[in-house]
Chain A
Amino acid sequence: DAKTTQPPSMDCAEGRAANLPCNHSTISGNEYVYWYRQIHSQGPQYIIHGLKNNETNEMASLIITEDRKSSTLILPHATLRDTAVYYCIVRVDNNAGNMLTFGGGTRLMVKP
């Protein structure tokens, strides 16, 4: 699976949009981009995933660049409860395996 690079930490003001970047410059055509978050040692929580197109759900939006080498997770109106570690994971969609490989993630601190 392609490696990802994320900033180790970010701050965001409550009520503002949080934009979390992820670099995956070695991504290949059949690899999906997944985002999870982990709130204070709880189980990782699935947020969103995508392949090529931008995606939106009730939690967040995922913007993937046209060359797919980077993506941004957007929390449109961050709340204090969004304080967590956010993980960007790329995973191949073939018979190469089913495991998720977590990196260090971005620790997002939402401040009042």
Chain B
Amino acid sequence: EPEVTQTPSHQVTQMGQEVILRCVPISNHLYFYWYRQILGQKVEFLVSFYNNEISEKSEIFDDQFSVERPDGSNFTLKIRSTKLEDSAMYFCASSAEYQETQYFGPGTRLLVL
């Protein structure tokens, strides 16, 4: 069964450094998403992406965040200058069409020191 994959599974970085989290969505899916979950808190929507453009973003997704689909398979989330409060699990998801079922990856645990 096709799955969303994410790399790395864990990332430790120093405050102020840039990180790139990578995702490979399910191959025939057209819509891509990032969510995050701070330890002990709810899963929160960050951004959705379609046709090489951001289609929706939350208040959390400020100028330090960016997303890109650099090739036909990868979907990335970049955090330009990490802060301590960016420490969280980051989940990528994809769906075949608009408002169809979203399937999530296993997540990347980001720790900012």
Contact = CB atoms under 8 A, between A and B. Distances in A.
Contacts of A49: 101
A92 B106 CA distance: 26
Interface in A20-55: 34, 36, 38, 41-46, 49
Interface of A: 34, 36, 38, 41-46, 49, 87, 91, 93, 97-104
Q: At the interface, is chain A mostly helix, strand, loop or mixed?
A: loop
The 10 lowest CB-CB distance pairs between A and B, nearest first, are A43-B104, A99-B45, A102-B43, A44-B104, A43-B91, A43-B106, A98-B48, A43-B107, A102-B42, A43-B105
A55 B73 CA distance: 33
Using C-beta atoms within 8 Å of the partner chain, give the interface range for chain B: 20 to 34
Contacts of B56: 97-99
Nearest to A45: B104
Given A41-B89, A43-B91, A98-B31, A104 B42 contact: yes
B44 interface: yes
B107 A103 contact: no
Contact of A91 (B99, B106, B109): B99
Contacts of B31: 98
A91 B99 CA distance: 8
11 contacts: A34-B101, A38-B43, A41-B89, A42-B106, A43-B93, A43-B104, A44-B43, A46-B101, A100-B102, A102-B43, A103-B42
Contacts of A46: 101-104
A103 B103 CA distance: 18
Contacts of B74: none
B37, B95, B104 — which one has the most chain A CB atoms within 10 A of its CB?
Answer: B104
A41 B99 CA distance: 24
Contacts of B109: 41
A41, A42, A46, A98 — which one has the most chain B CB atoms within 10 A of its CB?
Answer: A98
A109 to B, nearest CB: 17
A87 B91 CA distance: 16
A38 B104 CA distance: 10
